[in-house]
């Protein structure tokens, strides 16, 4: 009896193990886009060639894929295998959009138990448990239908293994805002900026120690509307005036690292690293983690109102420094830092020399209502009041006022800062602008190894400006192309 029970139990375990192994086995394949930059014209064939990775054999299972426009609506589904050594994923689309293709892998048939097998294994397992612990007998008797192994459990579902998310842009320079800016958008912000100007900055600079040679470091505190700007100021420790670099921070509540400012100062920048909150820069607590939802029902109470005003105050402060060269101010940041950079440039036309941002959040806030998935700050699209509020803080609506040359990098599979919104704000900027497509990148914290294009290009631009040169954007990808594919 015990031997029979043990055999049944081991059989069940063997099946589960086989399924787990099949699920965990990720095939080594390469997806090569038809266009290296991932950008296609309306109606053009968008596609990828699929091959086994170099030095590997073709997987024996089958792949399936789902292509969605703007990570929402299904455009196409399909499947393929690599028995012949190669396959393709293809579609066409006749509207400006970002396309997301999610590819799954089915390892092949997996062993399974019949319902009768499950019933027998469950019966034998219960008997074994009762024999080892007689107290369980009365407990299990109360639940006669209880199964230790569920016959509805699908082993095949375990073997379905997501292997890739692919991204492509279809006529991205033709993307338009989901909804227009509020009629009083400019008037609202003019009023808020006037309110800021009535409050003196009262700068307080506290010297701080630093291990960075040739640099002086200060903690900064400035008065703003209803709050304070706080951050680190780093200055090259030599005579002269310097180009200014203002760094805005990504989302979250965390202490700033002084090296973020001092490393740039060592390169010759007058550097201000701005905390996104009214917190000392070395403090990482004191603000709710869901701060982006605070006051979200009204433009007058939104958490982003004071944040954006603090950002402008920071710009005013660096421009008032006697160590500034009186010519150059660069704004930069990633994610919410990019969001703040774009907003500050839009609120202060003519006062910024260049804007360099990576995967900026805050665009296309109403996108969920118009066929384009919106990302951070993840405004609640089910509440019309929140959607109205969001438009006053949406980077797309600040973009038409940006006069500085702008560099924007976007991840083609980013769902935190979706690229459709980034392209839209880029299209709205009237100044010269350069796109840095990262076709394999999700958000920077998810795929940090796919950020090389941004890192290389932004460092090139910063080095050029720091040495007295001028940033001239490469507009090859930001000028509208022909709306239709070539015949």
Question: 123-135 pLDDT, tens per residue?
Answer: 777 777 777 777 7
Quote the CA–CA distance of 194 and 204 in Å, as a whole number. Answer: 22
| pLDDT for position 161 | 65
> Is the domain of 248 the same as that of 387?
yes
Query: Which of 170, 185, 210 is a domain's end point?
Result: 170
> Is the domain of 200 the same as that of 131?
no
- What is the mean pLDDT of the segment spanning 30-57? 95
Is the pLDDT at 187 greater than 60, yes or no? yes
Max distance between CA atoms of the chain, in angstroms, equals 91
Q: Which of 239, 234, 220, 232 is nearest to 267 (CA)?
A: 234
Higher pLDDT, 195 or 5: 195
Q: Which residues pair with 274 in a beta bridge?
A: 231, 248
In a domain? residue 2: yes
Residue 172 has a CB neighbour count (10 Å cut-off) of: 28
- What is the mean pLDDT of the segment spanning 170-186? 97
| pLDDT for position 137 | 72
- What is the mean pLDDT of the segment spanning 425-438? 98
Is the pLDDT at 354 greater than 90, yes or no? yes
Quote the CA–CA distance of 432 and 369 in Å, as a whole number. Answer: 30
Of all residues in the chain, the percent with pLDDT exceeding 70 is 87
| pLDDT for position 109 | 55
Residue 106: pLDDT band by 50, 70, 90 thresholds? Answer: confident
| Mean model confidence pLDDT for the chain | 90
Of all residues in the chain, the percent with pLDDT exceeding 90 is 79
- What is the mean pLDDT of the segment spanning 281-297? 97
In a domain? residue 120: yes
Residue 434: pLDDT band by 50, 70, 90 thresholds? Answer: very high
Quote the CA–CA distance of 362 and 395 in Å, as a whole number. Answer: 6
> Is the domain of 298 the same as that of 265?
yes
Which of 53-57, 192-196, 241-245, 322-326 is least confident?
53-57
> Is the domain of 164 the same as that of 190?
no
- What is the mean pLDDT of the segment spanning 405-416? 98
> Is the domain of 269 the same as that of 400?
yes
* Per-residue b or e along 175-196, where b marks 16 or more CB atoms closer than 10 Å to that residue's CB: bebbbebbeebeeebeebeeeb
| pLDDT for position 68 | 97
Query: Which of 108, 137, 170 is a domain's end point?
Result: 170
Q: Which of 169, 78, 94, 97 is nearest to 484 (CA)?
A: 94
| Torsion sign (Cα): 251, 255, 257, 262 | positive
Which of 49-63, 166-180, 369-383 is least confident?
49-63
What CATH number does the domain containing 238 carry?
Answer: 3.40.50.1820
> Is the domain of 133 the same as that of 201?
no
Residue 149, both tokens: 């192994």
Is the pLDDT at 5 greater than 70, yes or no? no
Please tell me whether the peptide bond between 377 and the residue prior to it is cis, using omega within 30 degrees of 0. Answer: yes
Q: How many domains are contained in the chain?
A: 2
Provide the residue range defining the domain that includes 422: 176-466
In a domain? residue 344: yes
Is the pLDDT at 33 greater than 80, yes or no? yes
| pLDDT for position 231 | 98
| pLDDT for position 112 | 58
Higher pLDDT, 472 or 137: 472
| Torsion sign (Cα): 211, 212, 214, 218 | negative
Residue 283, both tokens: 């403090």
Residue 418 falls in which region: left (phi positive, over 0), alpha (psi -120 to 50) or beta? beta
In a domain? residue 475: no
In a domain? residue 485: no
> Is the domain of 233 the same as that of 100?
no
In a domain? residue 52: yes
Q: Are 334 and 298 in contact (CB under 8 A)?
A: no
Is the pLDDT at 304 greater than 50, yes or no? yes
Is the pLDDT at 215 greater than 90, yes or no? yes
In a domain? residue 214: yes
Is the pLDDT at 432 greater than 80, yes or no? yes
> Is the domain of 227 the same as that of 310?
yes
What CATH number does the domain containing 74 carry?
Answer: 2.60.40.1930
Apex CA 355: angle with CA 465 and CA 231, to 5°?
A: 95
Helix H, strand E, coil C: the string for the chain is CHHHHHHHHHHHHHHHHHHHHHHHCCCCEEEEECCCCCEECECCCEEEEEEECCCCCCCCCEEEEEEEECCCEEEEEEEEECCCCCEEEEECCCCCEEEEEEEEEECCCCCCCCHHHHHHHHHHHHHHHHHHCCHHHHHHHCCCCCCCCCCCCCHHHHHEEEEEEEEEEECHHHCCCCCCCCCCHHHHHHHHHHHHHCCCCCCEEEEECCCCCCEEEEEEEEECCCCEEEEEEEEECCCCCEEEEEEECCCCCCCCCCHHHHHHHHCCCEEEEECCCCCCCCCCCCCCCCHHHCCCCCCCCCHHHHHHHHHHHHHHHHHHCCCEEEEEEEEEEECHHHHHHHHHHHHCCCCCCEEEEECCCCCCCCHHHCCCCCCCCCCCCCCHHHHHHHHCCCHHHHHHHCCCCEEEEEECCCCCCCHHHHHHHHHHCCCCEEEEEECCCCCCCCCHHHCHHHHHHHHHHHHHHHCCCCCCCCCCCCCCCCCECCC
In a domain? residue 476: no
Q: Are 354 and 379 in contact (CB under 8 A)?
A: no
> Is the domain of 163 the same as that of 191?
no
Q: Are 336 and 291 in contact (CB under 8 A)?
A: no
Query: Which of 128, 149, 170 is a domain's end point?
Result: 170
Quote the CA–CA distance of 249 and 352 in Å, as a whole number. Answer: 18
Residue 154: pLDDT band by 50, 70, 90 thresholds? Answer: very low
| pLDDT for position 316 | 98
Q: Which of 306, 312, 304 is nearest to 389 (CA)?
A: 304
> Is the domain of 84 the same as that of 191?
no
Is the pLDDT at 9 greater than 50, yes or no? no
- What is the mean pLDDT of the segment spanning 414-419? 98
Residue 208 makes CB contacts below 8 A (sequence gap 6+) with: 217, 218, 219, 232, 258
Residue 121: pLDDT band by 50, 70, 90 thresholds? Answer: confident
> Is the domain of 320 the same as that of 234?
yes
> Is the domain of 367 the same as that of 294?
yes
């Amino acid at each position: 009896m015990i031997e029979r029970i043990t055999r049944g139990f081991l059989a069940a375990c063997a099946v589960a193990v086989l399924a787990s192994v099949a699920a965990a086995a990720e095939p080594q394949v390469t997806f090569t886009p038809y266009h290296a930059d991932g950008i296609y014209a309306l109606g053009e064939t968008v596609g990828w060639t699929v091959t086994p990775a170099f030095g590997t054999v073709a997987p024996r299972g089958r792949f399936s894929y789902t292509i969605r426009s703007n990570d929402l609506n299904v455009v196409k589904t399909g499947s393929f295998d690599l028995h012949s050594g190669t396959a393709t994923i293809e579609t066409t689309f006749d509207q400006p959009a970002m396309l997301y293709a999610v590819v799954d892998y089915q390892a092949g048939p997996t062993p399974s138990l019949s319902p009768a097998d499950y019933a027998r294994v469950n019966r034998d397992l219960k008997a074994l448990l009762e024999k080892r612990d007689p107290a369980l007998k009365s407990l299990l008797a109360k639940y006669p239908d209880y199964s230790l192994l569920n016959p509805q459990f699908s082993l095949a579902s375990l073997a379905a293994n997501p292997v890739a998310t692919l991204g492509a842009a279809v006529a991205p320079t033709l993307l338009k805002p989901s909804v227009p800016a509020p009629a009083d958008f400019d008037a609202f912000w003019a009023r808020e900026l006037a309110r800021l100007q009535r409050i003196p900055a009262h700068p307080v600079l506290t010297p701080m120690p630093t291990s960075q040679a040739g640099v002086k470091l200060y903690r900064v505190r400035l008065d703003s509307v209803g709050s304070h700007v706080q951050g680190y100021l780093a200055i090259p420790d030599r005579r002269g005036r310097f180009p200014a670099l203002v760094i805005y921070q990504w989302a979250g509540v965390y202490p700033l690292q002084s090296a973020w400012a001092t490393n740039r100062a060592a390169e010759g920048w007058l550097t201000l690293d701005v905390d996104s909150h009214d917190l000392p820069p070395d403090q990482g607590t004191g603000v709710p983690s869901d701060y982006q939802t605070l006051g979200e029902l009204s433009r007058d109470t939104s958490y982003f109102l004071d944040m954006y005003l603090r950002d402008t105050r920071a710009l005013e402060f660096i421009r008032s420094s006697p160590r500034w060269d009186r010519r150059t101010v660069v704004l930069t940041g990633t994610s919410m830092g990019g969001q703040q950079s774009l907003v500050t440039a839009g609120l202060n036309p003519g006062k910024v020399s260049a804007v360099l941002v990576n995967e900026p959040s805050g665009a296309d806030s109403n996108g969920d209502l118009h066929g384009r998935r919106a990302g951070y700050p993840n405004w609640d699209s089910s509440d019309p009041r929140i959607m109205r509020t969001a438009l006053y803080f949406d980077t797309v609506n600040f973009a038409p006022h940006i006069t500085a040359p702008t560099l924007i990098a976007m991840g083609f599979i980013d769902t935190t800062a979706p690229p459709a919104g980034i392209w839209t704000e880029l299209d709205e900027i009237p100044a010269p602008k350069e796109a840095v497509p990262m076709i394999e990148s999700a958000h920077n914290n998810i795929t940090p190894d796919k950020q090389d294009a941004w890192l290389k290009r932004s460092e090139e631009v910063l080095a050029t400006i720091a040495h007295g040169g001028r940033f001239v954007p490469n507009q090859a990808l930001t000028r509208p192309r022909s709306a239709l594919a070539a015949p």
